Structure 1
Amino acid sequence: MSFNTISVIGLGYIGLPTAAMFASRRKKVIGVDVNQHAVDIINQGQIHIVEPDLDMIVHAAVTEGYLRATLEAEPADAFLIAVPTPFKNSESEIPEPDLTYIKKASESIAPVIKKGDLVILESTSPVGATEKMSEWLAELRTDLTFPQNSGEDSDINIAHCPERVLPGHVVRELVENDRVIGGMTAKCSARAVELYRTFVQGECVITNARTAEMAKLTENSCRDVQIAFANELSIICDKLDIDVWELISLANRHPRINILQPGPGVGGHCIAVDPWFIVSNTPEEAQIIHTARKVNDAKPQWVINKVKLAIVDFLQSNPSKTAKDVVVACYGLAFKPDIDDLRESPALNISLSIADFHAGKVIAVEPNIDALPNNIDNLQLKSFDVASHEADVHLLLVDHKTFKESKIDSPYLIDTKGIWK
């Protein structure tokens, strides 16, 4: 059975590029989002996010009539759900995943699905979420059969296929990366492979839905543990007066050692989030994963404390000044280099915390954005040149390419990425 019309629910950093790739292969694509602004922008052939090359693909797809955005789900042959999976209690010791967006997406497509349709959950989810989605759909459409009850003969096919792309390289990696396909039955997997083969050049590796869900969580938890080792090492080296970047460089000369670089914490919508899905499901067993999360979550406060010490040092060296006279510059707000994405960014959170406690001016330098979010009023967005001349205390948080091409030389510099040391 061919897929003539494809619907993508959620037009964010993953959903929009995925919709655009199907449309670029001359498939009719209906993108669905609850954000009226995003829908309007896309229907004008423009994009509301920053991702290299995506603007050209979306413009062509909309102009040629293959991509259209809407607020309401419409009939299609395949539905891909790419909505957020936040936490219910983000401040608790072990946050609990919130599947509300997935449930609402299921409710939105339930009235329009028909026999023979394929529904794929792409949202990063705790183990069992795909089965839960299928149960919600079954409750809403009792006239159709689903894999949990009818197996291979079900009217609706259900699968999980996690995204595995790097912001800033999404267009290329959507095409080239291998995809893990986890169907609730063998037929579900086969149909999902058929769909992704529309544009995926990498290998489509088949497994079951639960293993596919766990695969994505495992990938990001592994990275989180490795980063936690580097971050903990940086704290140890600071106490022992050792250059952690030189140390790591020397250790990595061993043929079987590959230590990552430390930083101000871990951010983004994946590595800082996905390990909690494992920990919340298996809190007694996930000891290393849980510890890594705590180490990485604690690193921002360590950085903030270093800034407080630098301010004190500056005031001791300049007794005629008060805290109100001290200007602090924070270089980088995004969660990783050379992107505009501020989601789950330790750099942004550190900058906001400094602005909250510091009596003087706090400058933010983020070359990838034109303005700060509307809810931020205690930071001043300035250029690198202005910050480098005005600031007394300098804090490097993100190793953007433009920062690597410059340098700050100051006794009151905290360099969390080791590029200006």
Structure 2
Amino acid sequence: MDSGTELKVAVLGLGYIGLPTAAVIARTGAQVLGVDVTPSVVDTVNSGRVHIEEVDLDGLVSGVVARGTLRASLAIEPADVFVIAVPTPFDEDRAPNIGYVLRAATTIATVLKRGDLVILESTSPVGTTEKVAELLAQLRPDLKVPGHSAEGADIAIAYCPERVLPGRILIELIDNDRVIGGITPRCARKALGFYRRFVRGACVTTTSRAAEMTKLAENAYRDVNIAYANELSMLAGTMGVDVWEVIRLANRHPRVNILQPGPGVGGHCIAVDPWFLVAAAPERARLIRTAREVNDSKVDFVIAGAAELIERTPGRVALLGLAFKANIDDFRESPAVKVAAALAHRFGNRVDVVEPYASVLPSAFDGTAAALVDVDTALEQCATFVILVDHDLFRSIPAQERAGKHVYDARGIWPDQPAPAPVAPRLVA
């Protein structure tokens, strides 16, 4: 695939992955159309602005929109490459929901032509790319679809999951290695040519099923390791031991690297994707299921510990952070939101929330008297602090400004503060 300016790319879904991906591709000179179902997102992108917080994304989007290589639309248009970057949530029973992916494929089918390349980037259960191929074969019987034609194929279909860290997305989209799985080897090679336009990391080709499971395995690996840290923190809290010191000392062993615990696990990937493996083989995924349950249970443990401190200390309470990780504005599946909302519902107008990446409180706070305030107001008015997110802003508060505060630190960022008395874990209504 040549690197000239004639290539047309359509990216379906302009969220935390789709918009950065579209902008990076547009920077290569390709003509990129970003497709989204939300009119405000389309209008924002077409004005050269962004609707999500990500380092350097605003400048990149502004530049490629001004140069005319990126535009957004509610409607699909013909292209040479179609990239699907839509959500893949799970249902109430934790079964994976690929409805958005199949709807995106249905949309693509209306403009698909011979020679096109369709790439699924959304984290998906094993076999989803094959279902996309099956759907396209049904909707476009005039085209030879890979895996559904004995006489070759008119189009190529591949799976290439993102593997980026929020806050470093623009760097990691380019520098990280990519796993590219094709329905056929020819599909993988064609997708490889496309990613070579903008990826400096190694691009490794495989089957679509192997690539799908690789992405799920990566996220489940992280979840299991975090679960160990979170379980240690609950054990240490129950035993009256400083878990941060334990981890610091244990990590001096040359073959030990325990992660840092927190109030749980959030985000659309690590908190969701392991359930796709559990759903595929419930009787086999015992460790993965247990890790998910441990990380989910940490939320209740933190609620109990923070509530115990709040109950025995008078005055106002500041809850620091709502995002699922530091220095981003992404609240999806955030354990901090769950903890803070539970405390706000319980302690009413005593509660202030500090979240520098939010302009309004999430819907989980509806019906509470909690107020969104800045950090200076919290330091002036609040006697008790519950740290839920390790934003740089919170780390930067000097010791003299937080002296005398009662602190429940679920992130270990104020080590000079005395730890609250440990309490046995209990559920807080």
Q: TM-score, normalised by structure 1?
A: 0.94
Amino acid in structure 2 at the alignment position of 1:367: P
Q: Which residue of 2 aligns with 1:37?
A: 40
Amino acid in structure 1 at the alignment position of 2:383: D
SS of the residue corresponding to residue 34 of structure 2 reads strand
Amino acid in structure 2 at the alignment position of 1:278: L
SS of the residue corresponding to residue 206 of structure 1 reads strand
Amino acid in structure 2 at the alignment position of 1:180: V
Asked if residue 417 in structure 1 is aligned to residue 416 in structure 2, the reply is no
Distance of 2:393 and 2:133 partners within structure 1: 47
Structure 2 counterparts to residues 139-154 of structure 1, below 5 A: 139-150=138-149, 153-154=152-153
RMSD: 1.5
Distance of 1:65 and 1:24 partners within structure 2: 10
Amino acid in structure 2 at the alignment position of 1:82: A
Identity, in percent, stands at: 52
Q: Which of 350, 353, 367 matches 1:361? A: 350
Q: Which residue of 1 aligns with 2:390?
A: 399
In the TM superposition, residue 372 of structure 1 has moved relative to its aligned partner by 2.8
Q: Which residue of 2 aligns with 1:332?
A: 321
In the TM superposition, residue 313 of structure 1 has moved relative to its aligned partner by 2.0
Distance of 1:374 and 1:244 partners within structure 2: 33
Amino acid in structure 2 at the alignment position of 1:74: E
**Mapped contact 2:229–2:258 kept (Cα < 8 A):** yes
SS of the residue corresponding to residue 69 of structure 1 reads strand
Q: Which residue of 2 aligns with 1:382?
A: 373
Q: Which residue of 1 aligns with 2:263?
A: 264
Could you tell me which runs of 5 or more consecutive residues in structure 1 were left unpaired when the two chains were aligned: 316-325
| Residues 55-100 of structure 1: CA deviation (Å, up to 9, x unaligned) | 11111111111111111111000100000001121xx4xx101111
In the TM superposition, residue 310 of structure 1 has moved relative to its aligned partner by 1.1
**Mapped contact 1:328–1:394 kept (Cα < 8 A):** yes
Distance of 1:152 and 1:277 partners within structure 2: 34
Aligned residue pairs, count: 407
**Mapped contact 2:337–2:364 kept (Cα < 8 A):** no
Distance of 2:395 and 2:104 partners within structure 1: 42
Amino acid in structure 2 at the alignment position of 1:419: I
Amino acid in structure 2 at the alignment position of 1:53: D
Distance of 1:352 and 1:234 partners within structure 2: 22
Asked if residue 85 in structure 1 is aligned to residue 88 in structure 2, the reply is yes
Q: Which of 27, 34, 47 matches 2:30? A: 27
In the TM superposition, residue 345 of structure 1 has moved relative to its aligned partner by 0.7
Amino acid in structure 1 at the alignment position of 2:253: H
**Mapped contact 1:152–1:187 kept (Cα < 8 A):** no
Greater mean deviation of Cα atoms: 124-133 or 386-395: 386-395
SS of the residue corresponding to residue 76 of structure 2 reads coil
**Mapped contact 1:152–1:185 kept (Cα < 8 A):** no
Structure 2 counterparts to residues 63-78 of structure 1, below 5 A: 63-78=66-81
In the TM superposition, residue 376 of structure 1 has moved relative to its aligned partner by 4.0
Distance of 2:68 and 2:310 partners within structure 1: 57
Distance 1:333 1:67, change over 3 A: same
Distance of 1:124 and 1:152 partners within structure 2: 30
Amino acid in structure 1 at the alignment position of 2:410: T
In the TM superposition, residue 411 of structure 1 has moved relative to its aligned partner by 6.3
In the TM superposition, residue 151 of structure 1 has moved relative to its aligned partner by 6.3
SS of the residue corresponding to residue 50 of structure 2 reads coil
SS of the residue corresponding to residue 284 of structure 2 reads coil
In the TM superposition, residue 9 of structure 1 has moved relative to its aligned partner by 0.4
In the TM superposition, residue 152 of structure 1 has moved relative to its aligned partner by 8.0
Could you tell me which runs of 5 or more consecutive residues in structure 2 were left unpaired when the two chains were aligned: 416-429
Amino acid in structure 2 at the alignment position of 1:269: H
In the TM superposition, residue 236 of structure 1 has moved relative to its aligned partner by 0.6
| Residues 180-227 of structure 1: CA deviation (Å, up to 9, x unaligned) | 000010110000010011110101011110110111111110110000
**Mapped contact 2:137–2:148 kept (Cα < 8 A):** no
Distance 1:22 1:43, change over 3 A: same
In the TM superposition, residue 178 of structure 1 has moved relative to its aligned partner by 0.5
**Mapped contact 2:322–2:334 kept (Cα < 8 A):** yes
Amino acid in structure 2 at the alignment position of 1:137: L
In the TM superposition, residue 418 of structure 1 has moved relative to its aligned partner by 1.0
Distance of 1:375 and 1:332 partners within structure 2: 14
Q: Which of 46, 49, 53 matches 1:46? A: 49
SS of the residue corresponding to residue 357 of structure 1 reads helix
SS of the residue corresponding to residue 276 of structure 1 reads helix
Distance 1:152 1:214, change over 3 A: farther
Distance of 1:152 and 1:205 partners within structure 2: 27
SS of the residue corresponding to residue 155 of structure 1 reads coil
Distance of 1:411 and 1:55 partners within structure 2: 37
Asked if residue 123 in structure 1 is aligned to residue 122 in structure 2, the reply is yes
Distance of 2:412 and 2:183 partners within structure 1: 46
Structure 2 counterparts to residues 257-296 of structure 1, below 5 A: 257-296=256-295
Q: TM-score, normalised by structure 2?
A: 0.92
**Mapped contact 1:396–1:416 kept (Cα < 8 A):** yes
Distance 1:120 1:151, change over 3 A: farther
Structure 2 counterparts to residues 230-245 of structure 1, below 5 A: 230-245=229-244
Distance of 2:316 and 2:135 partners within structure 1: 54
**Mapped contact 1:224–1:293 kept (Cα < 8 A):** yes
Distance of 1:189 and 1:412 partners within structure 2: 56
Greater mean deviation of Cα atoms: 146-155 or 326-335: 146-155
